[in-house]
Structure 1
Amino acid sequence: MAEITAASVKELRERTGAGMMDCKKALNETSGDMEAAIDWLRTKGLAAAAKKAGRTAAEGLVGVAVRGTRGAVVEVNSETDFVAKNETFQEFVRTVAELAVTGIGTVESLLSADYPGGGSVQEKLTSNIATIGENQSLRRSAVLQVGDGVVVSYVHNAAASNMGKIGVLVALESTGDKAGLEALGKQLAMHIAAANPRALTGEELDPSTIERERGIAMEKANESGKPADIVTKMVDGAIAKFRKENALLSQLFVMDNKTKVEDVVKAHAKQAGAPVELKAYVRFQLGEGIEKQQSDFAAEVAAASGVKAPERDPAPAE
């Protein structure tokens, strides 16, 4: 059986909100597998939330740019938050976002694109790493475009103009008034930043995610002791609820918490006298999906100086 450390118990507590003993038991039951332990806690109704997706585990900036009916969002990572405040780093993020909105927009095409002033984006990035003295990377990018309508951007926790911790693009296809569409798009983008939908519609949710949720719902329902037909209905109900809460169009609009997003769009179309389609959206949150390595600063300094760091007592679980 894998060793269950105080650090792993602490991490599980932070990611789920469950009690220390419950986290320790979950890790024991799953041989130390963190993801399986999260699912185990959820099946027992002990996890307040599985917060992995919302955790910011890397530094840097998300940048956005919009030109006409086309918009782009990029994520550029750094090792520390200090670099995100560096003007040279910010200028690089701003320039890359502008290049993405006027070009193909993929990471590969961006890195090979010409950087203003000479050289490629990759060469400029390499130069910045040498100048700033910290590793950096262009992690991802996305582009949205409409034929007739607007692409609207929004940045949450802005560190500078058009860049911050969360960047959102919303694409609205319509022949209606562009100023009205811009206002609608901005509100929808703010909703997306706050609600973090997983897909545009329930049908577009990742099948593997649905199967994982179905397994958790089945485990919970089986523990109720109810007949098989009732268990099936309970599971189906849980999945329907999950789809509704995690698909953008069926989410309740954060501005009033009672109207579905799709109804907000329909109401605007009726008022504008022209059909409006919420065609697509993109939401980048800085560092999502990247686990930041824990480091012992004292040990690093000692190692650099050639001196053995004093041993510490293991940190107790909270």
Structure 2
Amino acid sequence: AVQQFSSKPAALDLHDLELVNVKLDHASITRELCVRDAVSEVAAITGENVRLRRALYMSSQRGIVSSYLHMSPASGLSRLAGLVSLEVEDDQEGSHSETLKSLGSSLAMHVVAARPLFLSKELVDSEVLEHERNICKAQASTAGKPENVVQKMVEGRLAKYMEEVVLLEQKYVADETKRIKVLLKETAKEIGKTAKIEGFLRIEVGEGIEKLEKDFAAEVAAAAR
């Protein structure tokens, strides 16, 4: 599942969430009921095996959280969503809220499309980086080049990897002449204050289930030996 953040959104306790009362605006469900019963009702209506699997919460103390729902069939409903938390330095009165909202929505859409794994180069997991370095080195070594040339090839491929998975280094999907870090600088210049991304989230219905099923199958096979 593609879920990486600068600081991870809080994971909500599913048991507690199931007990929260909600009122659904649907022709078949108009009364107030707890989340657990609402999920059961939806499963009965759709005839599908619907269950509450994950719940994440993102907030911003000094900015806003913007969202993008991809191909949303109804308000607040989508199989794929992006969230971005933005902060503007010393913007206590929210004087730049409209600019932030516009930027936040664009960035949330970008997160959905570009699938970043990390916010900045500094936040790239060291194990992930070493794994990529080893892959690049193995690939470059097969070219039969001298060690110093191989090293340059490895560093070049790592730089390209950073541009692919680091949000700030990615090309903006709506304008590939700009990188996300440049887009932030332009916004800062426009409003006269530093704008930065606090965190982001990309989440998709069903992601990670295949891996869980494979892991479970492997455990069963191992136990049967």
TM-score normalised to structure 2 length: 0.75
Q: Do the aligned partners of 1:106 and 1:142 also contact (CA within 8 Å) in 2?
A: no
SS in 2 for 1:245: helix
CA displacement 1:183-240 (0-9 Å, x = unmatched): 1111111211211111111232344433332232122111001122322232222122
Corresponding position of 1:160: 74
Structure 2 residue identity aligned to 1:270: K
1:244 equivalent among 153, 160, 163: 163
Which residues in structure 2 correspond to 1:44-63 (within 5 Å)?
A: none
Does residue 147 in structure 1 map to residue 71 in structure 2?
no
Aligned to 2:16: 109
Paired residue total: 194
SS at match of 2:207: coil
TM-score (norm 1): 0.54
Post-superposition CA distance 1:220-266 (Å, at most 9, x none): 11100112232223222212221122110111112220211111111
How far is the alpha carbon of 1:115 from its aligned partner? Answer: 4.0
Query: Per chain length, whose mean CA-contact separation is higher, i.e. which structure has more relative contact order (CA < 8 Å, sep 6+)?
Result: 2
**What 5-or-longer segments of structure 1 have no aligned partner?**
1-52, 55-71, 73-99, 294-318
Q: Which residue matches 1:189? A: 108
Corresponding residue of 1:310: none
Post-superposition shift, 1:281?
Answer: 1.0
Q: How far has the Cα of 1:280 moved from its partner?
A: 0.9
For residues 54 and 124 of structure 2, the distance between their equivalents in structure 1, rounded to whole angstroms, comes to 21
Task: Write out aligned runs for 1:267-286 (5 A).
Answer: 267-286=186-205
> How much has 1:131 moved relative to structure 2?
5.4
CA distance in 2, matches of 1:232, 1:242: 15
1:179 shift after superposition: 0.8
Q: Secondary structure at the match of 1:193?
A: helix
1:201 correspondence with 2:120:
yes
User: Distance between the aligned counterparts of 2:189 and 2:38, measured in 1?
Assistant: 49
Q: Distance in 2 between matches of 1:226 and 1:261?
A: 35
Give the SS at the match of 1:140: coil
Return 5+ residue gaps in structure 2 as ranges: 3-8, 24-30, 214-225
Provide the rounded CA distance (Å) in 2 between the counterparts of 1:246 and 1:239.
11
Distance 1:254 1:131, change over 3 A: closer
SS at match of 1:213: helix
Residues 210-219 or 269-278, more deviating: 210-219
Give the aligned partner of residue 57 of structure 1.
none
Question: Could you say which residue in structure 1 is the equivalent of 2:96?
Answer: 177
CA–CA distance in structure 2, aligned partners of residues 286 and 226 of structure 1? 45
Question: In the TM superposition, what are the counterparts of 1:1-318 in structure 2 within 5 Å?
Answer: 105-116=12-23, 120-130=34-44, 132-174=46-88, 175=91, 176-291=95-210
CA RMSD of aligned residues (A): 2.7
| Distance 1:278-1:125 versus aligned 2 partners, 3 A rule | same
In 2, the alpha carbon distance for the partners of 1:269 and 1:129 equals: 46
> C-alpha displacement at 1:108, in angstroms?
4.0
Q: Is the Cα contact below 8 Å between 1:202 and 1:246 reproduced in 2?
A: no
The answer to whether the Cα contact below 8 Å between 1:202 and 1:244 also exists between their aligned partners in 2 is: no
Question: What is residue 223 of structure 2 aligned with on the other side?
Answer: none
Provide the identity percentage: 35
Q: Hey, what's the Cα distance between the residues in 2 that align with 1:218 and 1:153?
A: 39
Please give the alpha-carbon distance, in whole angstroms, between the structure 2 residues aligned to 1:194 and 1:128: 29
When Rg is computed on C-alpha atoms for both structures, the one with the higher figure is: 1
C-alpha distance in structure 2 between counterparts of 1:235 and 1:106, whole Å: 43
Q: Which residue of 2 aligns with 1:11?
A: none
**Matches of 1:120 and 1:203 in 2, distance apart?**
42
